[in-house]
Each structure stands twice: as structure tokens, then as C-alpha cells.
Structure 1
Amino acid sequence: MDLLDGSGLRFPADQVARMMVGTGARSGPLYRQLSDSLAELIDRGELPPSAVLPPERALATALTVSRTTVVAAYQALRESGRLERRQGSGTRVRADRGRETVSNSLLAGDHAASQFLDGPLATIDFATAALPSLDLVADVASSLTRDDYLRLTSSHHGYHLRGLTALRERIARWYSDGGVPTTPEEILITSGAQQALELVARGCLHPGDGVIVEQPTYRGALEAFSRTGSRLRPVRADEDGLDVRSLETLLRTGSPRLVYVQAAVHNPTGAVLSEDRRQRLARLVDQHEFVLVDDTSLAGTGFAEGPGTPALGSHERIVTIGSMSKLFWGGLRLGWIRAVPQVVSRLAQVRGITDLGSSLVAQEVAVRLLDHSSAASAERRSTLPGGLRTLTDLLATQLPDWTWQQPRGGASLWVRLPQGDATHLAQLALRYGVALLPGSVFSADGSTDNHTRLPFALPPATLHSGITRLAQAWQTYLERGAVDVTVTSTIT
């Protein structure tokens, strides 16, 4: 986004379209749905005072509506006192809506956490790919007694930057049992894998550093690296994961500071890095001076039984990120970093600037849950492929021209549209009651907008209803293009 007059931010049309996912009303005149959605973003501060909105024609194209609809929506917002039009500088959020407490640059709501800000969407939620909790989480958590809590609270003041010793020991033993010798000093507990990524980005990168990422890749990683001012360069990934040959070619043209990969199970494609590529990638770490960050958040969700630990190795420049969220439950908010002790110490210091440690109660539950990791993986293997079959059967019947890369794990399907782009389709899908993420958000250069990610860890009835609505939206998209479509949703 470009700064204007030192205060206003220019919001491109496609970004505004993505920010609108899950906001506003879902019935009534289309211009009113649009104005309500923008009003919600303005009132929440995600379109802050002095923000410059896209021209009517550009926003109409991004939303797949007529320019008349956008003109009417902007007029309604001007009448309500939210927008103002300045000659020669376009349409802006009114500058006198109160002084900003937080920097404008931090309030642009097109980010990976947007879908979690306001609880469940009123629509069918295909925008997130979170997995449901396993029953054993409740079983294990409820097994803690008062004596367990007394022991925990009486033995420690509650602040521990590195994490509960027992949990670090348990994770270290898990890696060691899997063939990667690890000590507790090589483990840093974090409040989820996203915090782990943020710590690695802040601890390892400076503005202008080169970062190589897969294409596509996890949206949260792109945001974490971008916030450091790093230069992102994509490298192709396919059904076998990161294309290591392409990476080798890229390494000859420059020396990146960091390479980010998802070797265990990839988000959003569900690919698993082949054994040959794993070995070649490990050799590249020896041959070049870059930090290899291996995000294994989806480890344990593979459809085939794999090795005990997914770590690529224990090289001094390999940093492994792990998580409890996908295998067990996202509500635990626990992840970890595995690295050499010097790196762990440095990242613990970085963490201490904003956070004094993760919940010790959740960590105590995690210690016990890890004793059930094999059972948890087996349960994911028994349930996730069934959801995938349901989704692909529905797509084959209702959207037969859509194609996909067959995943080998995870909870999402990476789908290619036969024509058009997912940013525009996502806006039409909202009018049919389905929240959808365009593939461009999973790309360093936005070039994957002919794809979308569809979750399949949902009840069959929800998948059936969602794909039926999505097929209706797709048909409208093909037939009407950028012409107004009036749809009254019946969302249940």
C-alpha cells in the first residue's frame, strides 16, 4: 500500500475485496450489502481515517458488481458520515472520525487472522481450514486433578520464556526417539506456530534480506516475513513438495538469508516432500549460507503412516517449527521451535520483548497429550481421507471442470479454476452464503489467483451445502461476469 499525504493509506480493490469476506449483511439490495460491509470495516478501524478507497470502477470489477452498485454504496456511506470525496484525491474514510491510537499500517485487515476476529462466520466457512478437536483432548485435560494444579502453581511463579521444563523434555525425547537427537535446551515453547514464525522472522531477518518461499505457501508465513521488510522470492512446489532443482537454480543467482519450506505436510496443497528432495535439500544447507525454516505444523495429519518425527535434521542452520494445533486442537495455542541452543536463547530474548511465556496449564495438558500422539495421528488418518473423498465426489459432480492436486495429508484441497480468478469468484460466493479465500493470498507474487483452497475436515452435510452454493455462484460467475446479481441468501 502507498502512503498518501503522510497519513492516508491507499487500499487496492482486490485487498478491499478480501477484507470484506465474512462482513456485512447477506440479504437485501446489493448496494446495501456492500455499504454495510464497508461500514463494518470502517467502524472496526480496519479501514482507518484518511484511508483512500478504490475507484468505483476498480472495486466493481473486484467485487463482480456493476459500477452503479458501488456508486450507490459509496453514496450511502457518505450520507452516514463515514466517507468523504475530495476533488482530485478520490474517496476517503473521513479524517475526523477520531484520532488513531494504533498506527494505520497495522489496521489493514487483509491478513491470515482476519477470519478469526469475530467468531464463526454467518456463512458456510470455506475460508479457514482448521481441524476439529479430538475427543482425547477433553479426556486428558479433565484428568488433571487439584493436586496437579497445586504442584504446578506452587513450584513455579508462572512466567517461563522457554516453556515448561517437562514439556521441553517431552518434545526433545520425541525428536530423539525419531532419530534426531535433541536436548531440552534446543526447544523453545511458543503460543502456537504463528508466534514461532514471527519470532524466527524478527530474530533472523533484517530489512532487505532475501527470503525464498514455496509457491504457493502458508499465508501466515508470507505476512510474518513481509513485516520484516524482507524481499520474498517464490520457488515452484508440486505434488512432491518444494522443487529442489528450481531452488538450486535460484540459489545460484543470489544468496538468500532464509528459505521457508513445509516438508512434513504442506498448507495449502497437502503435499509431502519426497525423500529424495529431503536429502538434496539437506545437502543444500551444507553448501550455502542460508537458514532453513521447516514448518511442520501439519505433521501427524498425513494419510500414510510416516516416520516418528518429521524434522529434516539437526544442522545448526535448520530451524524446525512444530505445533499442537492441527494434530490435537487449535485452542491449546501451543507450538515450539527446535534449533541449536544459541538460536533458542536468542529467540527467547526476542520473545521476552512482548510475551513472558505460554500458559503453563495448557503446557501441562500438552505434556500428557504427547503421550497419545500416535493415537492422535491414527485418528486423523482414519477421518481426514473420508472428508477428502466427500469433497472430491461433490466437486466431480457439481464442478466437473475444476481440477486439483491430490493431497497426501492435511485438511485442505488446492483447487484450480478452469478460467477466471478466485478473487472475483469469492465475492459472488459470499452472496450465496459461502466464504472463500482466493489463491492469491497464498502466493508471494499473487500469481495463484486461479486457485482456491477448500477445506474438507467438515461435516458431510456442510460440505454438500457449501459446494452446492459454490456451484451456483460459479454458474452465475460464468454467465453474468461483472453484471449485478441480486441474491437473497437463506443461510442456516
Structure 2
Amino acid sequence: MARLAHDAARTQNGGVASDGRVEAATLARLLGEWARSGTALPHALAGSIGELLTVGVLADRAVLPSQRALAAALGVSRGTVTEAYEILRANEQLLTRRGAGSELRRPRPLTGTSSPSDGRLASFTGHDSSAVDLSSGALPGLPLVHDAIARLDLGAELGTDGYHPAGLPRLRAAIAAQHTADGLPSEPAQILVTNGSQQAVWLLAHTIVDPGDEVVVEEPTYRGALEAFRSGGATLLAVPVRDDGLDLDLLDRHLTRHRPRLVYCQPAAHNPTGTTLSPLARRELADVLGGHGVLTVEDTSSADLVLDGLGTRTALAHLLPADRTLSVGTTSKLLWGGLRIGWLRGDPALIARLTEAKKAIDLGAAVIDQLLAADLLSHTARAREQRRVMLLDHLHRTEEILRRRRPGWTWPSPAGGTGLWIDTGEDTLAMAERARRHGVLLAAGPAFSAFNGFGHHLRLPFWPPAARLIEALDRLDRLG
């Protein structure tokens, strides 16, 4: 636990310590697919670091990791990193001082501004179609989506301007009705429609949270939330996720000592571990949160994907004061990632404030997507059952293949979600970098950590066809 606190303190600003040093794991994520075909590795590495500096993702005077640490994180020789650093020095983009490390230098000032990212969402930037992509847990669309498109009727909506900053009234009513059916009485005024759940979390991180505010997150947690809170300037306090849920003793201490701005959690189908809280554990978590009066953000994005046969869980918000809870939801996990409809559910006054903030970004989600979502929400029970049957079948097949092909890997059987949280027993950052250069895309554990932990873990989706997993394992085997 002391190590956790130490590492967390050193990575409060997107993997950059207070002395400006960039963690090797953070830089590895930021570099993404840096190894360019036909380009020698040192030149490709130097060019990619230089690009991060030029566009403002890496700050002027940021201190790069040691050559040894970066080589280990990227799965290359130390000589490759040494040569890359020499190229940067020759380009006057790097200054090495004895005792101070290798410090980046921007040759000329930037024009405009940029929005730094710590690279946790690098797997969503598009890939070579020949790559075997096992980096994302996003599901293909259900046939229900095709059916809804076929019966789409814009009707009277074409007679309006199409701008609905808080969301199409019909959709807000449908979302409220679904929450009510799931045990959380809701009204349309409590709903703000967003462009996916990622925008919902981003809104919270940039509206509710001020730079320097402390935010409690699970360890590990959804990588998009980490990126959103980091970009908003939050300081993260991590609470480990165990097999039975959050470490409530540590959570209670954090809430007592720090008074954080909010707590972000995923009680059902947790991403990436697949943990789903029992009713008792859910009540115990609510007791701790309610006892401190902290604003709680419950991300239910994957809650439709519970697999244990006990059905959809009643929202944590049902157990907490109405004005101290916000729920994040989405159609993307259950129905299709291409249907970019998410939402926030909360106190009407807070929803009104968030709506005003959202107007600065857009004037509403696409009307066609919203009409489709409103239609499809009436088929939620059917969609949940279809997903459960499909995911369980794929889960059992994927586990069989992994037990045969990777007997040294271990993982808890997930109670929900789309991925396995696998302890491989080896450095997965280096594994992912080697795999990338051979056409396999993996999501290494540090991307899901507030302090670049879980270096031996992978989040591996279990829904892809068996042939895709086998091909990926075959390619990894050829790496030696």
C-alpha cells in the first residue's frame, strides 16, 4: 500500500511527476504505433517523440525516461533508444545535463493551444486493416440495430431545426423510463444526452472538477475516465478493486482525509476486471459514500452486460441522496459502438448546469442516432438477453483456447463486460510493443491504472471470433 501511495503521488499529472519527469509507461502509450514501416527504429522513435513535442503533448522541458527504462517499456534494445536520443539532440530537441537527465527543448514557440492527453485511448485512433486488433472491448452491432434503421421515420422532426442541447425529448423520456423500469425512478428533466459515455465523463471532468481537485477512482479502472480526469487537471486517488469490490477501508480513509470532489466507480460489469458487486457489497459501498456526502459518479456503461444470470443491478444512485449522485449510461456497449449516444442522469439543477457546459462543445447529438436509440431502448430486455447468450458462448470458447495455448496466464472469470483481466506474469508493455510491430494490437494493464501499475496484466476482449484470437496467439508465438 505504501508503494501504491508513492507511485500515485509521482503520477498525479498524467504520468508526469512533479519534477517534470515522464514515466516510461506513459511515453510508451503516447507513442502509439511509432515503429514505421521502412524506417529504422531509432529514426522512427526520435521522429515520434519529436512530433509529440511539436504538437504540445509533451511539454517543453519535460524530462524523458532513462534509456534503460524506455527500452524495457518499448521492447527494444537500449542501443535503439540511445541512438534516438542522439538524433533528438542533433535536432536541438533534447538537452542532456549531468544529474538532470534528458530534457526536451522546443526549438520555436507553438501557435494556438493544445489539449494534452496521456495516450490511454491510443487504440481508438485507427489501425492497419491487416492488424489483429485485440485492444478494444467494443462490440459489433446487434441485428436489432439494423431493424431499427429499416423502420426509421424522421416524421415531424424534419420540421424543427434539429438542435436539442439536452437531448431529443423523446429520447430523454425513453432513457428516464428505462431507468425507472430498472428500479431507479427518473424523469426526463434528470437526463442529459451526450455523444457517447466518453463525452459524458469528459463533461464531468471539465465542469464539476476544477484543476487541482482530488478525484477518487478505482484501481484499475476505465482508461477513458483516467484520460478525461487527467486532462481536466484532477489529482487522482486510487482505491484497489478486489474480487468482492472496492477496498472500503481505504475508500473511507481517502474520504475522511482528503474530501475529494467526487468518486468515480463502476459497481456492475467493471471495466476492465468484469467484477460485479453483490447486493450486500453494493449496500456497504453506498453506506460509506453516503456517510461522507461525497458526489458519486456511477458509470453504468457496461451494466447491461452482466453475465451471472442475476439480471441488471439496481443503480447505486437508488441508495444515495438524489443530489449527490450522477449516473453515466450509453447505448454503445449494449447495442453498437457506432451508435454514439450516451447520457448523464442526475439532479435537474446539476443536469441544467452540465447542459450549459455542453453547449460550448455542440448543440446536441445527431438526431438520427437519437431517434434510433429511442426506438431501441424499448427493446432493451431482448438486447440484454441476446448479448448475454452471445458473450457467454464466446467467453467459454476464449477461456478454453487460452488455457490450452497460455497455461501460465491467470484471470478471474468475469461476472460481466466484454474482456478478461489477465495476469500474464510478464511485462505487458514490452509484450504489446513487440506484438504491435508484428501486427497484433493489445491493451496493456498500465493503461487502466492511475499510476501505471498492473505491468503484468492485459485486458483481452473475449468476444472476437476464435480465429482472430488464434491468429494473434500464433503471431505472438513467432515472436519467441
TM-score bracket relative to the smaller structure: 0.7 to 0.9
Q: Is the 8 A contact 1:172 1:183 kept in 2?
A: yes
Tell whether the 8 Å contact from 1:22 to 1:122 is kept in structure 2 after alignment.
Answer: no
Q: Is the 8 A contact 1:22 1:123 kept in 2?
A: no
- Superposed displacement of residue 76, structure 1: 6.2
Alignment of 1:37-186 (within 5 A): 53-74=64-85, 84-86=93-95, 88=97, 90=102, 92=104, 95-96=107-108, 99-103=110-114, 106-108=115-117, 110-119=118-127, 122-144=130-152, 148-154=153-159, 156-186=160-190
Structure 1 equivalent of residue 432 of structure 2:
426
Within 2, Cα distance between the matches of 1:302 and 1:311?
13
2:451 & 2:59 partners in 1: Cα distance?
Answer: 25
Q: Structure 1 residue aligned with 2:25, among 14, 22, 26?
A: 14
Contact (CA 8 Å) 1:128, 1:455: kept in 2 or not?
A: yes
CA separation in 2, counterparts of 1:235 and 1:201? 18
Q: Percent identity?
A: 38
* 5+ residue gaps, structure 1: 4-8, 477-492
Go from structure 1 to structure 2 and tell me whether the alpha carbon gap of 1:120 and 1:338 turns closer, same or farther (over 3 Å shift). Answer: farther
Distance 1:344 1:35 in 2: 45
2:389 aligned with 1:350 = no
Q: Indicate if the aligned counterparts of 2:54 and 2:106 stay in contact, CA closer than 8 A.
A: no
Report the CA distance between 1:267 and its aligned residue.
0.4
Deviations for 1:91-128, whole angstroms, at most 9, x for unmatched residues?
A: 747625x844333xx245x3243222235565322222
- In the alignment, residue 190 of structure 1 is paired with which amino acid? T
**Partner in structure 1 of residue 226 of structure 2:** 222
User: What is the one-letter code of the residue matched to 2:345?
Assistant: R
Separation (CA, whole Å) in 1 of partners of 2:336 and 2:261: 33
C-alpha contact 2:445 2:457 (8 A) present in aligned 1: yes
CA–CA distance in structure 1, aligned partners of residues 214 and 430 of structure 2 = 31
- Please give the secondary structure, in 1, of the residue aligned with 2:137: coil
| CA deviation vs aligned residue, 1:348-392 (integer Å, no higher than 9, x gap) | 112122222111111011111111111111111111122222322
Q: Secondary structure at the match of 2:175?
A: helix
CA distance in 1, matches of 2:191, 2:368: 18
Give a deviation string over 1:432-462, Cα, whole Å, max 9, x none: 3222222112111222222121111212111
Q: 1:288 to 1:76 in 2, by over 3 A?
A: closer
Please tell me whether the aligned partners of residues 297 and 326 of structure 2 are also in contact (alpha carbons under 8 angstroms): yes
Shift, 1:78, TM fit: 7.4
Alignment of 1:231-310 (within 5 A): 231-307=235-311, 310=314
| Distance (Å, rounded) in 2 between the aligned partners of 1:211 and 1:51 | 25
CA distance in 1: counterparts of 2:55 and 2:234, whole angstroms:
29
Match of residue 202 from structure 1: 206
Deviation readout 1:14-72 (Å, 9 max, x if unpaired):
32222233343357765466457557767877568887654544432322322222334
For residues 203 and 127 of structure 2, the distance between their equivalents in structure 1, rounded to whole angstroms, comes to 26
Match of 1:467 among 461, 473, 479: 473
C-alpha distance after superposition, 1:301-322 (max 9, x if no partner): 1113444564223432111111
How far is 1:260 from its partner?
Answer: 1.2
Which amino acid is the alignment partner of residue 258 of structure 1?
Answer: L
* SS, match of residue 152 in structure 1: helix
The answer to whether the Cα contact below 8 Å between 2:26 and 2:452 also exists between their aligned partners in 1 is no
Q: How does 1:330-341 map to 2 (within 5 A)?
A: 330-341=337-348
8 Å CA contact 2:264, 2:297 repeated in 1: yes
Letter in 2 for 1:214: E
Tell whether the 8 Å contact from 1:131 to 1:326 is kept in structure 2 after alignment. yes
Amino acid at match of 1:59: L
In the alignment, is the contact (CA less than 8 A) between 2:26 and 2:119 conserved in 1? no
Q: Say if 1:462 and 1:35 are closer, same or farther in 2 by CA, change over 3 A.
A: farther
1:70 partner SS: helix
Q: Secondary structure at the match of 2:317?
A: coil
Within 5 A, what are the aligned runs for 1:363-378? 363-378=370-385
Question: TM-score, structure 1 length as denominator?
Answer: 0.84
- Tell me: CA distance 1:78–1:444, structure 2 relative to 1, closer, same or farther (3 Å): closer
Match of 1:449 in 2: 455
**RMSD value over aligned CA atoms?**
3.0
| 8 Å Cα contact 1:214/1:236 also seen in 2 | yes
